[in-house]
Chains A and B, each alone.
Chain A
């Protein structure tokens, strides 16, 4: 369970997030949507406990995130950030095994290696494991960072725009996998994804969280909340949600 109560985040005296009240339980795939500058990334960082709060509380699985020790925090939430850019000469396997830091502190054991192998397998990175990151395409690198977050082994995975730089095939590929791991069963993860692709959100999300100007507009089941009225209001442009052959599509109205 993620619980945000009366959350306020400020930067340089500007209010980035304003009194966010939000709670949702484990499981499923949550799409976080909203226009540029709505505060989506900031909210994700706040959920991961990486931002100082001006007011309010953030707890994940009962852990008080902003005040938790780094190691405890990283056992509950994995965060893939948008600015993930690595300057060092690292290969894919090294990167993914950084995700295990909170478990191994620099000296990986058999459990860590197993988790790394599983993540590499799951995101189709097996053949690329020895490749240096700077020799990969943007999409491959993106998948490596998602795999790193998966290897962390946390109940919650927060991903900030993992679909950026991916072509349609990999968008579909990645979303299918994220959708699959968020289904009930052993090793289930709760996945929260910041995305701009509304059609993809409509197709895969169980739940949406919509932000605008630092405020929570709505949160709830995607089936109910993802409507033309909401999207038109959110993005200040007329949009409609149509159902064609059982699929929900977002189209200009």
Chain B
């Protein structure tokens, strides 16, 4: 099958990139460097995969190929949850929480808020792209504003904890966080693949899908929960990346012949991971630049977003 071959090809590409990333100018002390690089590679792959898959899932239920969870404010929501936590409990008690419990609590709050907000939005105005995007953007600005306000009222030391969460950085990654990300990511991707045929049929829209006997509202709710979990994973690891998902999902669509989510989800996950690994490799190893990757990814993704918006002449 052509689809399967293309996915295997993507997997192979990612493996080559990963090997390059690990082995390029490897020097002593080997064990230490391999460990550091391994953790970073893991974080890049987990983030890219989470963002790519989350975007495909989100686009399926919004029936819109321009949207990403980042554009409609999912990431801002996560930062807000983080800030709110530090604000309410204080930095020391937040830092003192067991990482797994903290992550799960954040993901749960995030999932509840996201399904509340976007579930409502989807129910009422999913057909209206403009309203979706505007509401999301305004919501994002609002949440960022609230986070900023809370941050101003924090102690400088507490603010440092928040700041780490609110800007994308592929540098230092906590191995414990990475382990949690892996534990969350795999089952979520598994469930997403099980939902793939339903996501295909979601193209019929709410009425059409209900007419053929789907429980559409439950599908949307479940998918939004998965998206929330995936965004929580990626944002916890490296911080918000708005447009990476758009690049990954658009490339996945370009690579695959038809729109079948059983192929789209893994393709977007692999492409998202490959973009980050390749980008980090080029910037950090070859060009010796630090912390530019997030900026470049956002720049290219933003351009792609504009291109897709402007090209869209037909509804």
Chain A residues in the interface with B (C-beta under 8 A): 45, 48, 50, 70-71, 73-75, 78-81, 83-91, 94, 98-102, 105-107, 132, 148, 152
A102 in contact with B198 (CB, 8 Å): no
Task: Report if A99-B212 is in contact (Cβ < 8 Å); known contacts: A83-B205, A84-B204, A87-B64.
Answer: yes
Interface string of B198-230 (1 = CB under 8 A from A): 101101110111111111000000000000000
A87 in contact with B63 (CB, 8 Å): yes
B213 in contact with A71 (CB, 8 Å): yes
A74 in contact with B212 (CB, 8 Å): yes
B211 in contact with A107 (CB, 8 Å): no
A50 in contact with B207 (CB, 8 Å): yes
CB under 8 Å from chain A, chain B span 256-285: 258-260
A83 in contact with B207 (CB, 8 Å): yes
A72 to chain B minimum Cβ distance, whole angstroms, is: 8
Interface size on B, residues (CB 8 A): 25
Q: Which of A85, A91, A99, A148 contacts B205 (CB 8 A)?
A: A85
B200 in contact with A70 (CB, 8 Å): no
Name the residue of chain B whose CB is nearest to the CB of A74: B213
**Beyond A89-B259, A106-B201, 11 additional pairs, beta carbon < 8 A:** A50-B207, A70-B210, A71-B213, A87-B63, A87-B64, A88-B200, A88-B203, A90-B203, A91-B258, A98-B208, A106-B200
Contacts of B214 in A (CB 8 A): 70, 101
Contacts of B200 in A (CB 8 A): 88, 90, 94, 98, 106
How far is A100 from B213 in the complex, measured between Cα atoms in Å? Answer: 9
Q: B90 interface residue, CB < 8 Å from A?
A: no
Most chain A beta-carbon contacts within 10 A, residue among B198, B208, B209, B210? B208
B210 in contact with A106 (CB, 8 Å): no
Instruction: Give how many A-B residue pairs fall within 8 Å (CB-CB).
Output: 76
Most chain A beta-carbon contacts within 10 A, residue among B201, B207, B211, B214? B211
How far is A90 from B200 in the complex, measured between Cα atoms in Å? Answer: 9
Contacts of A73 in B (CB 8 A): 213
Task: Report if A106-B197 is in contact (Cβ < 8 Å); known contacts: A74-B211, A81-B211, A84-B204.
Answer: yes
How far is A91 from B211 in the complex, measured between Cα atoms in Å? Answer: 19
B203 in contact with A87 (CB, 8 Å): yes
Q: B37 interface residue, CB < 8 Å from A?
A: no
How far is A85 from B209 in the complex, measured between Cα atoms in Å? Answer: 12
B287 to chain A minimum Cβ distance, whole angstroms, is: 37
A53 to chain B minimum Cβ distance, whole angstroms, is: 15
Q: Provide the main secondary structure of the chain B interface.
A: helix
Q: Provide the main secondary structure of the chain A interface.
A: loop
A106 in contact with B65 (CB, 8 Å): no
Task: Report if A86-B215 is in contact (Cβ < 8 Å); known contacts: A70-B210, A91-B258, A106-B198.
Answer: no
How far is A84 from B253 in the complex, measured between Cα atoms in Å? Answer: 22
Q: Which of B204, B207, B259, B315 contacts A45 (CB 8 A)?
A: B207
B65 in contact with A87 (CB, 8 Å): yes
What are 10 A-B contacts with C-beta separation under 8 Å?
A50-B211, A74-B212, A81-B208, A85-B205, A88-B203, A89-B259, A90-B203, A98-B200, A99-B212, A106-B198
CB under 8 Å from chain A, chain B span 92-141: none
Contacts of B315 in A (CB 8 A): 85
Contacts of B197 in A (CB 8 A): 105-107
How far is A50 from B206 in the complex, measured between Cα atoms in Å? Answer: 10
Name the residue of chain B whose CB is nearest to the CB of A104: B197
Task: Report if A98-B212 is in contact (Cβ < 8 Å); known contacts: A85-B205, A88-B200, A106-B201.
Answer: yes
Contacts of A101 in B (CB 8 A): 201, 209, 212-214
B207 in contact with A102 (CB, 8 Å): no
How far is A50 from B258 in the complex, measured between Cα atoms in Å? Answer: 30
CB under 8 Å from chain A, chain B span 73-95: none
Interface string of B40-71 (1 = CB under 8 A from A): 00000000000000000000000111000000
A133 to chain B minimum Cβ distance, whole angstroms, is: 9
How far is A91 from B200 in the complex, measured between Cα atoms in Å? Answer: 12
Name the residue of chain B whose CB is nearest to the CB of A79: B211
Task: Report if A86-B211 is in contact (Cβ < 8 Å); known contacts: A91-B258, A94-B258.
Answer: no
Contacts of B204 in A (CB 8 A): 84, 86, 98
How far is A84 from B63 in the complex, measured between Cα atoms in Å? Answer: 13
A103 to chain B minimum Cβ distance, whole angstroms, is: 8
Name the residue of chain B whose CB is nearest to the CB of A78: B211
A87 to chain B minimum Cβ distance, whole angstroms, is: 5
Which 7 A/B pairs are nearest by Cβ-Cβ distance?
A74-B213, A106-B197, A102-B213, A88-B203, A79-B211, A101-B212, A89-B259
How far is A104 from B174 in the complex, measured between Cα atoms in Å? Answer: 44
A79 to chain B minimum Cβ distance, whole angstroms, is: 4
Q: Which of B63, B198, B207, B213 contacts A88 (CB 8 A)?
A: B63
How far is A90 from B208 in the complex, measured between Cα atoms in Å? Answer: 15
Interface string of B241-261 (1 = CB under 8 A from A): 000000000000100001110
How far is A48 from B65 in the complex, measured between Cα atoms in Å? Answer: 30
Contacts of A45 in B (CB 8 A): 207
Name the residue of chain B whose CB is nearest to the CB of A51: B207
How far is A148 from B196 in the complex, measured between Cα atoms in Å? Answer: 20
Contacts of B198 in A (CB 8 A): 106
How far is A99 from B315 in the complex, measured between Cα atoms in Å? Answer: 24
